[in-house]
Structure 1
Amino acid sequence: MESRGILLYYLWITVSLIPVTKLNECPAPLSTRIPGDVELIGMFSLHLPSSQRGTLIGQPHKDQLTPALLTAEAVIWALEGLNRHDFIPGVRLGITVYDIAGSRQLAASVASITYQKLNKDSGPYPCRRPSNASLIAGIVGPGRSNSAEIVSNVLKGTDIPVLSYSSTSNALRDVEEHPNLLFTVESDRHQVQAMVEILKALGWDYVAIVYTNENYGINGYQELKAAAQKEGICIATPRIGNYSIPLATSSDRFDRIISDLVQSGTRGVIFFGLQEYGKRLLEASARHQDAPSLLMWIFSEALANNNAFSGQTLYALQGGLAVASATKQIPTFQKYFVDLLFNITRGHIVTDLRRVWLEEYTTAAFSCKLATALEANNQHTRNCSTLSRTEIQDVVEAGSSLYLENGLKAAYAYAASIRNAHSELCNSPGVCSSLRDMTPLQWMRYLSGLNITLTNHDIPFLPPELFGKRLIFEQHELTFNPESPIYKIRNYQKDRTIDVGFFDGRELVLNTSNIIMYRYDSNNQPVEVQGENLDRSTCPRKCAECVRKSEVKVAYKPGQHLILGVFPIHSSDCTTIRPTASVQLLEAFLFAMEQISQRKGVMQNISQDLDFGYLALDDCYDEFKALQIACDIYSGKQFGDITIDRNSLIGWIGPLSSGNCRPIASTLRHVHDLQISYGSTIEDFNDRNLYPYFMRTVPTDEQLTRAILSICQQMGWTYVSIIHASHDYGRSLRDSTLKYLLEYGICNATVLEQNTVTDDHLAFSILEASKNGAKVVLILTDALNARALIGTIQRFTISLDDDNLKDLVFIGTESWADRESVVEGYETLTKGAITFKFNKGNVPGFDSYFKTKTLQNNKQNPWFNEFWEQIFDCNLEGNFNKTRKNTCKNDLNLTDYSNYHQDSLVAFVTDAVYSLALGFDSLYKTKCGPNFDPSCTTADFISFKNRKETFTGELMKKVKNVNMPGRGAMYSENGSGMTGYTILQWSEVETNQWRYVEIGSYSPSSGINIAKDKLLAGLDRSVKSVCRGEACAMCRSDPPAPVTLSATGVGAVVMASLAVLLILTVVVLVCMLVKMKRQLENVYGPNSYDYAEVSFNRQQQHVQMERNLPQLPMERDMTRKESAHDQLSSADSGYINAGKNTTNTAVDDSDVEIVFENDSSGGTIQSDLYPQHQERT
């Protein structure tokens, strides 16, 4: 009773919002009634909302009446036909048709009237109720989604069936929200899917959506935007806020939208909204000088009628597409309707209000006048009686409603459900008492439970076009034959409209060769284009808003045994792609995995039982990104739609940099997985206590350091400047160099770290050192930082014009190697520069593999498009970040890339993959025999593999013992690569022709082998790098030979001094900790701190401890422990350089553990970080 009262109150509020014409009467639209024993209520928008409400019809106007008139007449035609055949014995079907004219208020009014007719008490309404209640089975309509929504809301809780024939909004399909709303029309989700498939077929990946601000338009826009973005199609962001069109708006709104579309450069435009507003939008486009030649349109089905466009609207639309309902025309009804109109033109009178509607339709559609009472309002000169039947037929066929079939299905659905109720409840013809006493809920159940196939055996009056159609509702929506097209795709050409495709709910068939669009020539005349020449709608500029920042790109191939690769595809911002070498490293990984999969080359003997897969990720050359990758892998996070089973992992390949290797290696220590780096050289990883599962295919920094210092010793360069990068790689090389300087009799003039001082300070320090004799500069950085430093020195050289900067000799590392990108533009300054390249030949087959890669055949590399744009300096079609001037040509290929050469690290990547696969294969054969012992089941081996600590320990032994054919052992006892170096020099071989020239080699076993004459020739000048002046006080004038150096003398003095300093520092630190502990206990009480964070302040050079705040609840219980202790040692790592070379105070690496309790595998994951890697924390 309470819910009933609430409903009545809501109805009263709804009706009270509608203007009343007379006191104590319910306002309602005009209607016509076809009486019957059981009746339906029909809601049809026979007129547009702009029609005058006073006379309903208003002045005759061709656009006033809508195709819904034909749908209403078709429903009447079907019901009267069934009555003539006594479809329900003794029961006549009737209908009252209301013209709600697209108005939500009028729709709510009819809903209220319907409720009153079905109830004996009038409730709180100020209206007179009819003297007797009618037998009403339900409502047909409304057609528009916004009207259907208000009717559903008004009648919610009444159980009165509402069966819409053209409301497509998917939001209304929520059965709980709209329990008594049913549909004989497909929802917009199919139309949206069809539109997205059209965009994909046309190659449109950047479009604007204009929509009407009502239920149909808003929901269509939201669904289309979401579906398009899911497919990588970007929706343009309007500069005017949005592209919505309010239902009551002026022409200015349409003009603003068109102007904004043109100015933004957007070409493809989708309109999702009501017909009359779409036509006004096209009229605004026709008024704009440039819009017709620039904008390409796709319209929703509301505008897909054959006669929806004409005149200026068709001019603006030409070349556009529309999604039209694929419902069939009903010739039998069209013949009936043509006869009806023909009789009206000949003076035959139609009874009731239908006469007014039909006469208005006739005079408007044919521009003629009738000799009727409306003649005073008729301004046409032609007499309608002169119309031929053929003329009438042509107009009726062209203006037929898209929803005619759906309207007929609604009529037959109601008729069949009423017959079912009659046959079950009544034992004789006519309306029995049980039928008359049926409640709306009973009518709803009969209708929603309908399940029949339309045949002329069961339905005596049935148009042939509906034969075989099934009427069955699922979730209140009529089911459709999946084999029949739901939509057809129309193309509006200059002089005709044709169907160019269809969509069946699953697949789009689109014949682009039949689509004609138009380009405009210099005289602004349209020129037809079709097929492959159709224009695309792409981002016209840099469209950063279109880049999906949350998108995770991976290269993935499933397999039972997964190899995971990590590569520095992008720079630390994860948006800028790194030099081409980074993509080469990924391609080397994919190449090696392909060799394994196909059992080619050195992989040919791997057991066929082993199914290898891979996952390749981008660490953005950032150590925190690397740590995130490790955490994501072992916490079970998905990569897109890919979920990785950590137990399937057999090992990691990479990363490149030492800084990125450290967090991964620290994590793998606790989860017992193997890691093989193809680029990390720092000596820290030789510590098997900290990094028990770390291996590498490259040699350690010690070998490179000795190679560099050997050259300096050979050339008599005893005084050098040292510049190193601010990451693990640079700092490790610095430490190794400082460690061996005395052994080689060399003194350092300055030691500076990039990024801790300004570029100008670096250049100035090098200049000052050069004045004191340090002409040789050791650049201990990666290639990118080396180029940045050289660029700074070049700028200083030009601005100061100082010869001291022109005489420098640069010595780079294996990261510089033979990369021309480092010296490009600085050829003269870097003349004679000495670099190192790993003494390893090119990988056979890789060059041909790489050069055959194209955008079409390299889909497994998700970053290949970015690489393509970089090397050819062009924008690909569909790219949202168009930062380059030119568009990529279709005929480009990598054979056109003249700067290609195989990167020196490619071989180290393939070696890492091959050795891991061969080691795993060897372990497999050890456990199961070379011919696979049947008793060694897959489950047995997997069980062994899942015992990670044991498995990985044995796997490491197998990998270390791998011997590549023709090359022998790959790894030393400590798991490092055993490769020497080729020594290169940047030389001007001919005038203005530069290249790297080989001048020697270095190997751990035989030492340095250098051709001094080549080196001197490459320098083309005499270079002395020896100390002179006051700065020499810190250097020995006659350094001893390395063989005479012992643990006594200077070395002993130095060590003793350092020992004393170490003891003093430890005492001070302990005192500080004790004092801090007491202070904490005084403030927080004893034992109130579980962990303390200790950090080293580089500027103030003191230890700082902070009490941890209470931990917050997290998805995983994370405990962060930090401890630090100072240790003084001239040979230790972690030197602090506060902008000047005054002291070499060292801080030992502090162990930081990140602990994830309750890991998905039941284990504990920990990761060790070091203070120098937390500067960005």
Structure 2
Amino acid sequence: MQYIYAMMFALEEINNSSTLLPGVKLGHHIHDSCSLPAWALQAALSLVGGDMPSCNSAAKYEEEKGIGASKGDQPVPLIIGGCNSVTAQIVSRLLVPLSLPLVSYTASTPSLSDKQQFPNFFRTMASDVYQARAIAQLAIKFKWTWVGAVVANNDYGLMALKVFQEGIQRAGVCLAFVETLQRENIVSDARRAALAIQASTAKVILIVAWYTDVMELFLQLDKLNVTDRQFLASEAWSTSSDLRQSTFSHKVASGVLGVAIRSSTLPGFDTYIHNLNPLLRPNDHFLKEFWEKEFGCSPGIATASPFASLPPCNGTESLWAVNNLFTDTSQLRVTYNVYLAVYAAAHALHSLLFCPDVNSSPGHNITCSFTNQIKPIELMEQLSKVNVTTPQGEAFNFQGADITGKYDLVNWQSSPEGQVQLVLIGLVNGFDLHLNESAIQWSTGSSQVPVSICSEACPSGTRMATRKGEPICCFDCIPCADGEISNTTGSTQCVHCPSEFWSNAERTACIPRQLDFLSFNETLGITLTAVAVSGVTVTIAVFVVFLYYRQTPMVRANNSELSFLLLLSIKLCFLCSLVFIGRPSAWSCRFQQAAFGISFVLCVSCLQVKTIVVLAAFRSARPGAEALMRWFGPGQQRGSVCFFTSIQVSHYFDNLSFTPDSVHIQWLSEVYTYYISY
């Protein structure tokens, strides 16, 4: 009802204006669609078919309105309607071949912005892109990374969900579940969605649906005793007084945070509503029916009425004493959108009918067109160019099919009287969010922001590891490996410590490496020194014996020259162990590698040559053995040992640039290789 009289109020303002459409009167024709697309189609067809009553008549209203401008009796049709996105899409497609403009005051699905599909569609309601992005910003701002979603199973709910997902996908926010509500199966769908909410660990739930569907959902949640969820509301139900006044909603949905159509004021509209009287509007059958239902009496107008048996009114009845949704003009949201739609149509007609008079003072207009020459496509073109300032001082224009999103951020808060009141906590201008966090009352009943996460943030010293087959918001915390740290909460990876540092026990900081080395004062150092000295002593003793008996046949037969060289290499190997005792340095590490490697290679080379000589001696009795001994005589034996040892010596000279750590690692690998080959 309030939408009806907002249109009539705007029409009366325009008709009484001396600057906007002077001399032109706007009329209206109202049809009831009962929120059914089929009925909306029927209403639209009756309007464009020319079956229109006189311009000052009114019929029962629900959704579709026609506006006509008349100089004489020729109407110009323009439809204001399509109360929801589905209806607007159907009606708009029907009117496309006729180029008849359709202006909606509540259809918000983003798909209607497509001028290729809906060239004749305009709206004074912002696209859902704005509110979905605003809700996504709220989730990111309050660090809600685990959010459940319940949406209407139509273009309105699914497109809003898609935009919401696009807004959160780069911020680490995940959807715990998505449930849809179909109006034809609302009880079963609401039950299924309530069970999903109960089973989920998500504490924040986004709901994008019509308020009647949300009411059924809250009823099911009340039956399951689910009372600890924080709900994010779309504009379709965030301001619903029916929801706020229901007892079960108060129980399960306290602290709702929602987006609402921007509340605006219409100066004079409150007085206009309260001064309505069927005696002053004898043709307004809808007002007469409302009057009979509200006051329980008949205003005395002789028309058919479902309340025909009521006593006559005494004339003292007045809407000033009535306090209900119809007379409440404190927060005009959709009502203001209807008002804007009428003014947009009026300015488009004005641009089409009047031209500035260059010979007169600024602001003076003259007629530059005739109503019988106006075509709907011309009116549609002028609508797309509308750029005006409303009587409230607000700049208004269509950006393609849309207007810039302007919303209120509202919060359901309990009053001392136990009522749930709507409190303004912020604004949305386009994609900019302005929020007063201190004014919010959360579902917990306090100022503490609810927590909704799948996994707790990993503490310092650990890293996140995603779980297979689950969203990135669900993860396990893995301790960092030795030599790695993470010093922040929620690290995705561990960082390696520098070469001279090591991780502490908590894996939160790199600390200098503790220098551990063998000392001559330690038990192990003393033991190694004793073994090395004993080995050197025994080797020297054997060397002396061999030297003393060097002319004997046994020593000479044992290849005395290689034997002395072998004893020398063994002695050097024993002495190399002493080099590994004491404080290490870069040069000592290099010398340790070279000394042991060369000594060991010299030892193995001598053993290899001696073995070959023995094999050759055992084969000396075979035919052709003289050639073998000739190719492996004393000179060749000495040359083989020198050749093998020189390869190792050159190898270590090439690697003098190694760091102590890399030299130590290479030394270990080579020692292993030497022993395997031996």
Q: TM-score range by the shorter chain?
A: 0.5 to 0.7
Among 149, 152, 158, the residue aligned to 1:212: 152
The equivalences for 1:57-456 within 5 A come to 69-85=1-17, 87-117=20-50, 135-237=75-177, 242-289=178-225, 291-292=226-227, 294-305=228-239, 307-308=241-242, 309-312=244-247, 313-340=249-276, 343-344=277-278, 348=279, 350-352=281-283, 354-356=284-286, 358-359=287-288, 361=290, 369-371=296-298, 374=305, 376=307, 389-392=320-323, 396-397=327-328, 401-424=332-355, 434-454=370-390
- Output the CA distance in 1 between the equivalents of 2:671 and 2:241: 81
Residue 83 of structure 1 deviates from its aligned partner by: 2.0
1:574–1:512 CA distance, 2 compared to 1 (3 A): closer
Note the C-alpha offset of 1:283. Answer: 2.4
Q: Secondary structure at the match of 1:79?
A: helix
**Structure 1: how far apart are the matches of 2:332 and 2:388?**
25
Instruction: Confirm or deny that 1:467 pairs with 2:392.
Output: yes
Matches within 5 A, 1:608-1007: 678=499, 979=586, 1003-1005=589-591
Q: CA deviation at 1:329?
A: 2.8
Give the letter aligned to residue 181 of structure 1: F
Question: In the superposition, relative to structure 1, how do residues 141 and 1135 fare at CA in structure 2: closer, same or farther (>3 Å)?
Answer: farther
1:160–1:712 CA distance, 2 compared to 1 (3 A) = farther
1:594 corresponds to: none
Q: 1:1064-1100 CA deviation, whole Å, 9 max, x = no partner? A: xxxxxxxxxxxxxxxxxxxxxxxxxxxxxxxxxxxxx
Seen in structure 2, the aligned counterparts of structure 1 residues 200 and 339 have a Cα distance that, compared at 3 Å, is: same
For the pair 1:1049 / 2:604, whether they are aligned, the reply is: no
Q: Residue 882 of structure 1 aligns with which residue? A: none
Q: CA deviation at 1:379?
A: 12
Letter in 2 for 1:397: D
What is the root-mean-square deviation in Å for CA atoms of aligned residues? 5.1
Please name the residue that 1:511 is paired with: 436
| 8 Å contact from structure 2 (residues 132, 164) kept in 1 | yes
**Shift of residue 282, structure 1, vs aligned partner:** 2.0
Aligned partner of residue 409 in structure 1, secondary structure: helix
| Runs of 5+ unmatched residues, structure 2 | 52-72, 359-363, 457-464, 501-512, 514-523, 533-568, 616-666
Deviation of 1:405 after TM superposition, in Å, equals 1.7
Question: What amino acid is aligned across from residue 371 of structure 1 in structure 2?
Answer: S
Distance in 1 of aligned mates of 2:239 and 2:574: 91
Q: Shift in Å at residue 263 of structure 1?
A: 1.9
Q: Distance in 1 between matches of 2:614 and 2:37?
A: 94
**Rounded Cα–Cα distance in structure 2 between residues aligned with 1:336 and 1:105:** 33
Q: Which amino acid aligns with 1:392?
A: N
- The Cα of 1:452 is off from its aligned counterpart by 2.5
Structure 1 letter corresponding to 2:155 = N
Higher helix share: 2
- Checking the alignment, whether the CA contact within 8 Å between 2:207 and 2:234 is kept in structure 1 is yes
Separation of aligned partners in 2, 1:260 and 1:742: 80
What TM-score do the two structures reach when normalised by structure 1?
A: 0.38
Matched to 2:109, the amino acid is S
Alignment correspondent of 2:560: none
- Indicate which of 557, 571, 579 corresponds to 2:481: 579
Query: Taking structure 1 as reference, are residues 537 and 479 closer, same or farther at Cα in structure 2, changes over 3 Å only?
Result: closer
Q: Give the drift of 1:246.
A: 0.7
Whole-angstrom distance in 2 between the partners of 1:375 and 1:537 = 53
Task: Judge conservation of contact 2:354–2:368 (CA < 8 Å) in 1.
Answer: no
**Aligned positions of 1:1021-1032 closer than 5 A:** none
Distance between the aligned counterparts of 1:540 and 1:386, measured in 2? 62
Aligned residue pairs, count: 515
Aligned-partner SS, 1:418: helix
What amino acid does structure 1 have at the position aligned with 2:171? E
- Maintained 8 Å contact 2:85/2:155: yes
Check conservation: 1:491, 1:500, Cα contact below 8 A. Answer: no
- Distance (whole Å) between structure 1 residues aligned to residue 451 and residue 531 of structure 2: 65
Q: Max radius of gyration: which structure? A: 2
1:375 and 1:277 mapped to 2: Cα distance?
Answer: 30
Cα drift, residue 284 of structure 1 = 2.2
Residues 440 and 255 of structure 1: CA distance in aligned 2, closer, same or farther (over 3 Å): same
Instruction: Select 1:490's aligned residue among 403, 411, 415.
Output: 411
Aligned match of 1:529 in 446, 449, 460?
A: 446
Identity of aligned residues (%): 18
1:266 and 1:540 in contact (8 A); partners too = no
What is the rounded CA distance, in whole Å, between the counterparts of 1:371 and 1:171 in structure 2? 47
* Equivalent position SS for 2:451: coil
Preserved contact between residue 414 and residue 447 of structure 1 (Cα < 8 Å): yes
Shift of 1:387: 6.6
Question: SS in structure 1 opposite 2:437?
Answer: coil
Could you say if the C-alpha distance between residues 286 and 334 of structure 1 is closer, same or farther in structure 2, counting changes exceeding 3 Å?
Answer: farther
Higher RCO structure, 1 or 2 (CA under 8 Å, sep 6+): 2
Shift of 1:300: 0.8
Q: How far apart are the structure 2 equivalents of 1:714 and 1:351?
A: 122
Query: Is the Cα–Cα contact under 8 Å of residues 354 and 366 in structure 2 kept in the other structure?
Result: no
TM superposition shift of 1:416: 1.3
CA distance in 2, matches of 1:396, 1:543: 56
Counterpart CA distance in 1 for 2:91 and 2:582 is 78
TM-score normalized by the length of structure 2 = 0.63
Query: Is 383-392 or 294-303 further displaced after alignment?
Result: 383-392
The runs of 5 or more residues in structure 1 that have no matched partner are: 1-68, 119-132, 455-465, 520-527, 552-572, 588-615, 622-654, 657-676, 680-697, 699-708, 718-739, 747-835, 841-977, 981-1001, 1009-1039, 1058-1130, 1146-1177
Contact 2:259–2:410 (Cα < 8 Å) also in 1: yes
Matches within 5 A, 1:1045-1124: 1045=603, 1047-1050=605-608
Give the Å deviation of 1:84. 3.5
Q: Structure 1 residues 191, 250: closer, same or farther in 2, change over 3 A?
A: closer
Question: What is the alpha-carbon distance in structure 1 between the residues aligned to residue 437 and residue 241 of structure 2?
Answer: 23
Q: Structure 1 residues 1055, 178: CA separation in 2 closer, same or farther (over 3 Å shift)? A: farther
